[in-house]
Amino acid sequence: MRLHRLLNPRSIAFVGGRECAVAIERTRALGFDGEIFAINPKRSELAGLKTLASVDDIDGSPDAAFIALPRDATPEVVRALRARNGGGAVIYAAGFAETGARDLQESLLAAADGMPLLGPNCYGFVNALSRVALWPDEHGLAPVERGVAIVTQSGNIGCNITMLQRGLPLAALLTLGNQADVDVAGALADLVLDPRITAIGLHIEGLRDVSAFAAAAALANQRKKPVVVLKTGRSPQGARITMSHTASLAGADRLCDALFERYGVARVPTLSSLIETLKLLHLGGPLEGRRLLSLSCSGGEAALIADLAPAHGLEFPPFSATAASRVAATLNDLVTIDNPLDYHTFIWGHQDKLTATFGAALGGGFDAGLLILDTPTHPAMKADSWRLTARAFAEAQRQTGARAAIIASLPEGMPPALAEELSAAGIAPLIGIEDALQALAAAATIGEHHARGLDTPEFLPLEDLEPPLQGDRVVESLRERAAKVLLAAHGLDIPPSVECRIDDAAAVAERLGFPIAIKIANETIAHKSDVGGVALSLRTAAAVNEAAAGMAKLGDRVLVERMIEGAVTELIVGVVRDPQFGLALLVGTGGVLAELMTDTVTLLLPTRREEIERRVRQLKVWRLVQGFRGRKADEQAVLRAIENIAAFALAHRDRLEELDVNPLLALPDRAVAVDALIKIRKTSTDKTT
């Protein structure tokens, strides 16, 4: 636990002026009872404390320090703290690498010499568990014994999070700024080990060290500590010319998704959904499944949540006959028993009747029961009957032990006092139907990952992918037949083919047997079909001659290949190399529709058969592979082909730059790669082939 002393100090040094005075006051207000040192050579006191002239005057080794000095003066103070065996420091000052002053940031790290640093250019942290606030501003955290932790790169977003009044027990908030030393992975690795922290939320803009993050996420998974991520950067960073469909489909953001998916980290799209997810996870942990119950006294709310749920992979299954009978017995004949259930207002204001209905419904065996209830906060309105309804639901939950949440459709519908009351009763007070569904889906995703209980494939460090090569590196695109021959050596099924001069195409076709496909044999052309370099289903020598002659403007050689017919569907299977993530496998809808459909999944390599099979079953195209309207492919053959491509990539991991099998034909009795592109790294010392 590298950050334990810094985050849980018994002695703190505050070095600076106004910001330090604020941080001292915030720390005292939380009830910190350890030793505080105020360092300022120009003041006699700071926040009521007598000051010391320098760090050298401290008696002992401070566990933590908050340094709010001009940037140029900061490294020397860090060096002095390191000399006194300090436990770590928050660097408040800006003007380091974020403004181009990388040398100054490097000098800061050199001065620390391994002592943990948060920042520079950061607000610091508040740890309500240990009653400490190295924080130069207002915050709304209060002492807690257990709760969630949030890590963000943004000081302002961190400040906004401290203003929450949503019933979320926020135990610790860390802002990281430039991440010169402690990054998201380092913070996560330490927070995972604190048993008082129930769930961890991360707001990240990018991952500095993917391997370290993978290790921290794996540790969280081992300890069943839920992790939720809000990552910015989903939008495309701009188009670039690529040789393969795979490279254009497997962007860095999709690789992040693959990393999160592998380690059971749930990704959410908004700050509000991050908060609601953490709240739900704190109050009961991950969900065991996606079967939900919805209760409301409005058909409009019932219809709204029913419409929104499928997009999140959630469902509202009907009551069993027994459960439906029990619920019906608590209501009159005018109420239709369904899920979502509109229980009407006949029992409104009668706590005993509401409790009976809610209890009968919550006992129906769902993974979570939801009550949609907006409680008035408007000063002209009385909220008594709404609070009565909430308390009836809480009592029903207590009696049944069911997982439960109350959802306010609008923020104004969840009074902070009621949110606190519900949280204390173990009921998640969720705000916003869409955000609540995001939270439920995320909790179910984490629960599903934990339930699988599979060993996670080890993340392949970048140094294992890129051993040093002698000479200048160049990337060579192999000709299609050469690429296919390499893949065939790893068990992939390919069609019979011959590369020849255009004039010989017809004769070669007659030897191979019709029907025939011909393609221009020019490895510099990225997408041959776009420029007339592909002709399919040719059934006569004359047709082959005519098609081959039409490609003369593109090159003087063609690939003549036996045409494979009768495919159930087409897939794309590819591999890309990323400087951060290493090798990644992409599988999806193939052929000319690959980039149009973007029906793909991405997996990091190495992977396992179980992971491949689980992920490809998420594809829309996989329904065709499994069977649709009387036609089905050999599913096991397709899976073997995908495994073989992954194995080829790993076997050539030191040199493989890019691989694209598109399409891989899924047939009733086999899977055949009818087009392949391989880009391989070579050096000036390699012989030309």
Query: What are the tens digits of pLDDT across the range 262-271?
Result: 999 999 999 9
DSSP character string of 399-462: HH---EEEEESSGGGS-HHHHHHHHHTT-EEEE-HHHHHHHHHHHHHHHHHHHH-PPPPPP--H
Q: Answer yes or no: is pLDDT of 375 > 90.
A: yes
Is the pLDDT reported for residue 217 higher than 50?
Answer: yes
The rounded distance, in Å, linking the Cα atoms of 625 and 636 is: 10
Nearest to 268 by CA among 450, 444, 447, 435: 435
Q: Are 401 and 429 in contact (CB under 8 A)?
A: no
pLDDT, tens digit, 9 for 90 and up, residues 376-434: 999 999 999 999 999 999 999 999 999 999 999 999 999 999 999 999 999 999 999 99
Residue 147 has pLDDT above 50, yes or no: yes
Helix (H, G, I), strand (E, B) or coil at 180: coil
Place of tokens 């890309």: 576
Stretch 14-23: mean pLDDT: 97
| Separation CA 611–CA 572 (nearest Å) | 17
13: phi then psi, degrees, rounded to nearest 5 = -110, 125
d(CA 128, CA 27): 10
pTM: 0.90
Cα angle: 129, vertex 132, 134; to 5 degrees: 135
Lowest mean pLDDT among 163-177, 228-242, 376-390: 228-242
Q: Which residue has the higher pLDDT, 251 or 419?
A: 419
Paired with 295 in beta bridges are 341, 371
Structural element, H or E, at residue 174: strand 170-175
- The least confident of 127-136, 240-249, 644-653 is 240-249
Q: What is the pLDDT of residue 464?
A: 55
Rounded Cα distance between 669 and 646, Å, is: 21
Q: Which of 146, 154, 152 is nearest to 128 (CA)?
A: 146
Structure tokens at 486: 């390499």
Predicted local confidence at residue 207, as pLDDT: 87
For residue 344, give the 3-state DSSP assignment. coil
Query: pLDDT tier at 241 (50, 70, 90 boundaries)?
Result: very low
**How many angstroms separate the CA atoms of 95 and 120, rounded?**
8
Which token pair is 39? 């360092």
Q: Per-residue pLDDT for 191 more than 70?
A: yes
Measured CA to CA, the distance from residue 292 to residue 426 in angstroms comes to: 17
Question: d(Cα 245, Cα 660) in Å, to the nearest integer?
Answer: 7
Strand partners, 582: 578
Higher per-residue confidence, 147 vs 629:
147
Maximum separation of any 2 CA atoms in the chain, in Å: 99
3-state secondary structure (DSSP) of residue 204: strand
Task: Specify whether the CB–CB gap between 320 and 460 falls below 8 A.
Answer: no
Question: What is the phi-psi region of residue 256: left when phi exceeds 0, alpha when psi lies from -120 to 50, beta otherwise?
Answer: alpha
The three-class DSSP label of residue 359 is helix
> For residues 593 and 605, what is the distance between their CA atoms, to the nearest angstrom?
25
What pLDDT does residue 551 have? 95
Q: What is the pLDDT of residue 609?
A: 93
- The per-residue pLDDT of the chain, averaged, comes to 92
Residue-wise DSSP of 616-657: HTTSSTHHHHH-BTTB---HHHHHHHHHHHHHHHHHTTTTEE
Q: What is the DSSP string of 159-173?
A: HHHTT--SS--EEEE
Give the Cα separation of 393 and 370 in Å (integer).
10
Task: Give yes or no for residue 239 having a pLDDT over 50.
Answer: no
- Identify the H or E element spanning 74: helix 74-83
Distance CA 632, CA 569 (A): 9
Q: What mean pLDDT comes out for the span 128-154? A: 95
Q: Measured between alpha carbons, how far is 104 from 95 in angstroms, rounded to an integer?
A: 9
Question: Is there a contact between 33 and 217 (Cβ–Cβ < 8 Å)?
Answer: no
Q: Is 474 helix (H, G, I), strand (E, B) or coil?
A: strand
Residues contacting residue 537 through CB under 8 Å, at least 6 positions apart: 515, 517, 563, 565
Q: Which residue has the higher pLDDT, 684 or 145?
A: 145
Dihedral, CA atoms, 434, 435, 437, 443, nearest 10 degrees?
Answer: 170
pLDDT at 399: 97
Average pLDDT score over residue span 56-75 = 96
Give the Å distances, CA to CA, from 152 to 197, 205, 446: 16, 9, 21
Contact 638, 666 (CB under 8 A): yes
Mean pLDDT of 113-134: 96
Mean pLDDT of 590-599: 73
User: Mind listing the pLDDT tens digit for each residue in 450-469?
Assistant: 998 867 777 766 555 555 44
DSSP calls for 47-60: TTEEEESSGGG-SS
State the burial class of residue 336 (Cβ atoms within 10 Å of its Cβ: 0-12, 13-18, 19+): exposed
Taken in order of first residue, the domains within the chain and their CATH numbers are 4-232 (3.40.50.720), 292-452 (3.40.50.261), 496-562 (3.30.1490.20), 569-683 (3.30.470.20)
Q: How confident is the model at residue 593 (pLDDT cuts 50, 70, 90)?
A: low
Give the tokens for residue 550.
């039409």
- From residue 247, give the alpha-carbon distance in Å to each of 199, 255, 586, 605, 676: 35, 11, 9, 15, 14
Percent of the chain, pLDDT > 70? 93
Taking each helix axis from N to C terminus, what angle separates 433-452 and 271-282, rounded to the nearest 10 degrees? 50
Looking at residue 591, its pLDDT comes to: 77
* pLDDT the model gives residue 488: 97
Note the pLDDT of residue 629: 85
- Distance from C-alpha of 65 to C-alpha of 69, rounded to nearest angstrom: 12
Strand 197-204 and strand 227-231: the pairing is parallel
pLDDT digits (tens, 9 = 90+) for 290-318: 999 999 999 999 999 999 999 999 999 99
What does the block give as tokens for 214?
């993978």
